[in-house]
Amino acid sequence: MYQSNYHRRVFVPKLVLPILLFLSFLLDGINNEFFSSVLNLFGFQILPNLFLVFIFYILRFRLKKEFNFYIWILIIGIIFDLYFSLSIGIYLFSYLISAFIMEFIDKKLENKIYNSWITAIVGLTSFYLFAYFGILLISHPNQTFVQYFIFTFIPTILFNTVLTYIFYKPALAFSYWLVP
């Protein structure tokens, strides 16, 4: 009995967390396609980023140590680039750096709920800033930085922060189930 609980405790997170990361990657592209008319209203461009939201939950609920966290971000980051992008590295490094920053901040801040929003917002902000500067290396974005900031950056950060807030409690409950 003790041994089977131990195996469940060790192997289930190792299996479930990478699958969920992969699913959140798929859902980002699917949501962006099927709900594009809602996400692109009045000239605003909202980009769902469930993958980063999920990374935030993993760090926040201390699930990182349950599996090879950075290795999986690296793998799915490369898949992101290969599948969606026309270059390699923008997603990969933006996700790695924002995960690192979120982890760093989360450790430094006091363990309170409102501090977790700071972590999420800083993580999202760093991702979209790194991605913007990454794209400047290879292409001219069809938005100036000011346009990008107003019409894409702010609504995207708000949308994903609200998403993080909505799913916070269910994700916390799920983390307790996953790692009892």
Partner 1 sequence: MKKFFSGKKIIIIFATVFVAIGLIIGSSFFYNRSNSVPFIQRFENDVVSFFSKGVSSPAAIINKSTDSLGQLFQTYRQNQKIQSKIDQLAQQKIEINNLLKENQELKKNLELKGTLTDYQTVDAVVIQRAPTFWQSVLVINKGSNDGVKKNAPVMSNKGLIGKVVQVSNISSKVLLISNISLSEDRFSVSMQAENQPVNSDPNDPKMVNGVISGYDVKTNTLYMDELTSDESVAKGTIVQTSGLGGIIPKGIYVGTVKSVKENSSGVAKRIYITPSANLDSVENVLVVIKSGKMENK
Q: Which residues bind partner 1 (CB under 8 A)?
A: 22-23, 26-37, 40, 43, 45, 47-49, 79, 81-90, 92-93, 128, 131-132, 134-135, 137-143, 147-148, 151-152, 156
Least Å distance between CB 115 and partner 1?
20
Q: Which is nearer to partner 1, 47 or 73 (CB)?
A: 47
Least Å distance between CB 101 and partner 1?
12
Q: Which is nearer to partner 1, 69 or 132 (CB)?
A: 132
Least Å distance between CB 58 and partner 1?
19
**Chain centroid to CA 24: how far?**
8
Least Å distance between CB 139 and partner 1?
5
Q: Which is nearer to partner 1, 111 or 142 (CB)?
A: 142
Residues 65, 80 contacting (CB under 8 angstroms): no
Residue in the block written with tokens 């939201």? 53
Which runs of consecutive H residues, i.e. helices, occur in the chain? 2-34, 36-39, 50-60, 69-84, 90-108, 113-136, 145-148, 154-166, 168-178
* Cα angle: 61, vertex 63, 65; to 5 degrees: 135
Residues 156, 41 contacting (CB under 8 angstroms): no
Q: Which is nearer to partner 1, 116 or 156 (CB)?
A: 156
